[in-house]
Amino acid sequence: MRIFASQLAKQRFAVFCLIGALASAAVGFAGGLMWMRERNPILKEPTFNNLSASYNEIMSDYLNGAEPKALIDGAAEGMVQSLKDKYSHYMIGESGEAYVQNYESEVVGIGIQLRTENESFIIDSVIKDSPAEKAGLKAEDALVSVDGKATKGINMDKLVELLRGEKGTKVTVAVQRAGRAEPITVTMARAAIPVLTVTYEMMPGGVGKVVISRFAQKTAEQFEDAIADLSKQGMKGLLLDVRSNPGGLLVPTIAIANHLVPNGKTILQVVSKDEKDVHTYRSDQKEPWKLPIVVLTNRHSASAAEVLTAALKESSGATVVGETTYGKGVVQRFNQFADQSVLSLTEAQWRTPKGSWINGKGVEPNVKVELPAYTELAALPSDTVLKKGDYGDAVKTLQQMLQALGYAAKDATAGVFDTATDAAVRQLQQAESIQPADGQVRESTTARIMELLRDKLEKEDYQEQKGVELLIKQISGSK
């Protein structure tokens, strides 16, 4: 869970100041040094001389030369790494900016969502009022090139990099549309595109399902909009899905809890270093929430997702269904510097409304339900062709996916792309009309395998099924 800090202002320290007669210069100099040491504790450390001397010697004598900023960034990275805290990081320049963008409410681009199909990039949907919509791009258009660079043979990450850029900059996209012989080429200006972290749907029986993928700046607003729309549709119970939610910002998490947790009830306790200060967040709910709540969790629900889960479980009587959560009971504050670098530092721990510290333990579900093993498999590499004779973890994952889909490679050696694995791949390719059906796992085969697994999970999502079952019972019992 993270807390924003305002951007740090540059601190400039005067060594000394001439005040009054010239005769007071020595006193001013000594006083200035003492003031610097008080304001900069690092100057009191004896080993600071080592750092200063090393910097000077590198800048003066290193054979290949060095950049001052690179040395200082390296020193900052080293300080944070010495903490041996997996949640504290120093991220330099663009890496820091990318980190911050994870929690912002928008990204800069053209406003399309893509999927891969037969080694092509297909527009899955076009965001309303986006540059892409205004330029006339449509769902099912196939991307041919971006700024003259062919999309064939590149991976999704590279394509996204080509499409994104600074707000207002131009990008030219060529697409192939069904029924047209020649590609359509359009040029548009990149714009800020809202990032959706909340999706929702009305399910049978009056169950309103809300999925929160992470907690970013606009998540609470998106949640409120979802609840308002579901209420209009006659929602009678809330199924809140925070599975695989890695957490995020504290402020939107508290705002959502305020909507669901009874007024005055505890949401969480934040405990500072050495337990010098304990800040208790309590709900300031405006309108009572009267509907039953079931929360879905898994082992990847972490940080802010655990805050909300624990608050709903302990202060609202919600039922938690699924798996024990990740167990991240600490809070980071991150500061972004003028060069976009970011320091994310663990500064506090948090406890549940009942005072439990879940770090390393997680939040236990009321009803434990596990998903099939295939849901934990890593994704297959989209930019690598797997074929007969290959071996390794990716091949082992492929074999497990084939087995889950009913294409078991009989007598196959685990992790080895042998004759049995080749036969199983060919069988799948033929059944799914994937060309060429030659036993090689290219991006088209990889994409289809992932689609089939997603479809399979929709039918075998036992956690969601149990959550709906419990909500229906509560809804029926409240009549």
Kindly report the CA angle at 251 between 335 and 277, in degrees rounded to 5? 75
CA-closest candidate to residue 116, choices 171, 154, 148, 146 = 154
* 161 flagged as catalytic: no
Task: Reply yes or no on whether 303 is catalytic.
Answer: yes
Nearest-CA neighbor of 308 among 197, 454, 472?
A: 197
Structure-block tokens of residue 191? 């714009």
Question: Which residue from 73, 111, 90, 257 is spatially nearest to 190, judged by alpha carbons?
Answer: 111
The radius of gyration of the chain's CA atoms, rounded to the nearest angstrom, is 28
| Torsion of the alpha carbons at 74, 75, 78 and 80, rounded to the nearest 10 | -110
- Integer Cα distance of 93 and 88 in angstroms: 16
Query: What is the C-alpha to C-alpha distance for residues 216 and 223, in angstroms, rounded to an integer?
Result: 11
Find the catalytic residue in 130, 283, 301, 303: 303
Taking Cα atoms as reference points, which of 242, 194, 202 lies closest to residue 221? 194
Q: How far apart are CA 189 and CA 134, in angstroms?
A: 10
**Phi/psi at 289 (nearest 5 deg)?**
-90, 120
Q: Which of 88, 130, 218, 314 is catalytic?
A: 314
Hey, is 229 helix, strand or coil? helix
Quote the tokens at residue 470: 């419990």
β-pairing, 207-212 with 198-203? antiparallel
- Three-state DSSP class for 147? coil
Amino acid at 317: G
Is 314 a known active-site residue? yes
Question: What's the rounded Cα separation, in Å, for the pair 376 and 394?
Answer: 14
State the first-to-last Cα distance of the chain, in angstroms, to the nearest integer: 39
Name the DSSP class of 291.
S
Distances (CA, A) of 378 to 221, 270, 323, 382, 444: 32, 34, 19, 12, 17
Given the residues 313, 328, 396, 466, select the one marked as catalytic: 328
Indicate which residues carry an active-site annotation.
Answer: 303, 314, 328
